[in-house]
A and B are shown apart, each in its own frame.
Chain A
Amino acid sequence: MNQESLSQIFINACLVNNFVLAYFLGICPFLGVSGKLGTATKMGGAVMFVMLISSICAYGIHALLVAVDAEFLQLISYIVVIASTVQLVEMFIKKMSPALFKALGIFLPLITTNCAILGLALFQTNKGYDFIQSIVYALGAGAGFTLALVLIAGFREQLEYAEVPKVIRGTILTLVIAGIMSLTFMGFSGLGTQ
């Protein structure tokens, strides 16, 4: 059981322990699609959406596995259920709202293997969050992911026009910016304490 307040969970997941900058989860899309501000925003939205869904799924699976005393199947069932849920959601959105599908479409399959999603499911189980706490945790983590992605995309767009030595362009430059951002985000630490 965990007695953290909801606002504490949100702030922790979003700022203090930002998934990208403190736990290094979801680094692949972070390095990959953080070049353009527009794409970064959409990607962030898609991740937040999938996080919310997989958080609910993970909560259900965990309850089920505990009930039948088969917790050793946790990892394998999380990954299978999350992957297939994303697939179902993708088909559902395609049917129901082609416009939304167009906006998110390309990113949904990419997200399945995003470690932030599985990480979220595992962390919420480890921390023993209840249903509402899990949802708030997912929202916080998603918001934090989007924030980090959008911020770094902004930096990178500006740096396009800067004269940077050729050898550090691309990944290296992004990593250095991420490092500095990670230091900056440390300033948020202690927000949750009285």
Chain B
Amino acid sequence: MYADYAYLIVALPVLAFLLCLFLGWNLPRGGGFITVLATLGAFIVSLGIFTETYPHEIVHQSMHWFANFNVGILIDPLALVMLLMVSFVVTLIHIYGNGYMNGDPGAARYFAEAALFSASMLGLVYADNLLQLFIFWELVGLCSYLLIGFWYRKPSAAAAAKKAFLTTRVGDVLFLAGIILLYNNLAALNLDLKAGEYLLQFPVIYAHITQIPADQLTLIALGLLGGAVGKSGQFPLHVWLPDAMEGPTTVSAMIHAATMVTAGVYLVARMFPLFYAAPYGLTAVAAVGAFTALFAATMGLTAFDIKRVLAFSTVSQLGFMMAGLGAGAAVGAMAVGVSMFHLIGHSFFKALLFLCAGSVIHAVNTNDLREMGGVGKYMKWTMYTMLIGSLSLAGFPLFTGFFTKDEIILIAYEYGTAINFLPYIFLVVAAILTAIYTFRMWFSVFTGKERSNYGKHESPWVMLGPLVILAVFAFGFGVATQSNFYSYLDSNFEHYDVDFAELSAIGGHALEEEHAAAEGEHAPAAEGEHGAEEEHSIPWYIHNLPILIAIGGILIAGLFYWDKIKKFDPSQATGDNDPLRRTLLKGYYQHEILTGWFAETVVYGTALICNMIDIKLVDGWLNWLSAWVMGFAQHVRKVQTGVVQNYVTALVLGVVVLVVVITLAMEVGLV
């Protein structure tokens, strides 16, 4: 029954967008309650569909749009967990936003844009074809631009919005190129489609991957990966994400932690069979993800802005998810379950962390960790909920992050035994750093002495309520759903009869196939049984290493930043001129390289040369031609004397000449 109302999941937030946009100015708190109700409605519908379809059904509705395209709704396990997570987290953030944005003159605009964002993200998740997904993908990008630049009078916010928009645009162009390539390849197959089937629909794509040439598959996969890299803030297109913290904290929590940036990971998960079949497809995903995880973690270690720490942490965790999907080259479709599990868990605890940070900033009125300290005395609720979020992010045993992140590290180990250990090593180091930077932040904010004279009060309950709910999920989600989640998501591609054995033959995963066979029919689409398999395929010390990592990392952070057990002074640990320290503080000189050198020298220089060529060569010959024509005309126009008699005379003479010529011609016999 609920499935009939699936369209409401997008329609309700769109309605809220229109209401807030046009009527919000006259409503209390900018009409925020409308947005909350709309996303709550979307969540209820999603939940209804979940109870109806769990665990063996999918919902697929579709109608003709134009030419070879359709619009449709496809709700399979993969989409459903995303729908539930997005609508749930976004609802909580909107409730929190009611408190956080209270009194802001642009509150109505905020809630309208936030509602539009919710609608586009939900639409992206359950689109049934790539074109529709791309449209919502762009809408999400637009909302991101609008919300980052929400305080558009602030130059840094306007610049950050522009940066986010332009950087993701690079990825979007690659994504579009991938879609077009895929479409061309599918069209070239001359498929005999049944009524109601369209080329870019996911089931159709899944069914025909094997018929596309392998080299084309790799190109398509790289194009799609480009889009995912842009949206999910992976290296080298990660630069926009830390800057995006210029928007309100709720925006950071909603867009840049919990939902939007996961779209890239979702895209790779959605197209997982294609990546799996493409030679080097998943290898590239694993490489990008693992590198980003470590790279961003090191920068998170040195940031002083509490939101930037969290932003780098987001980039890093998205790297984990990507690497988890990439590890699918070794473990098959199970990687989707593992990666999505981290994605969902991460949205809970990262949304929680951001909202806690927002609560702190709301009270303290500064973003700078160096000016905080001892806040815990005044904000007990915020302190404990943030502690839960931090423990979860650090991967402390029994917290959500422990189950989700460590599973990724484990399958990265399997990837290591099968293909290459580099991603595994990167991820382990990144995991240690995660624990360290998370608790560096927590200790700096809540413990120690007050380092400046800041506002001392707890936030209102409209803000604390969502924190508590999210904290419950950040703690309990992992342990409660772990076993069911994997089997549910692992079954995702069975609905489309995707044969991973066949795909792996194209993708050149033969080596891992043997490896998997040796383990006992483990790899493709292992349903729930993989838990038992892992026990004897992975040594115990690898299995338990993540626990050590989490606790060790927290201890290291404590030694530097917790006044009770403090042993080292962070500013004395390395010299001021230590090159490593300077590199980290400067963020690997990214600004210098990307903006200072690449943008201002290389791109600007190229632009100058192009401009010269355009003016001198392309425009040049055209201008010369037109100048010549003009000069010629200057002479010829004198014929127009302006005296009517001359014209008449010319006319008559012309007629006479014509008559004479024609008569002569007739005489001679030419005509």
Q: Do A and B come from one complex?
A: no
A residues with CB within 8 A of B: none
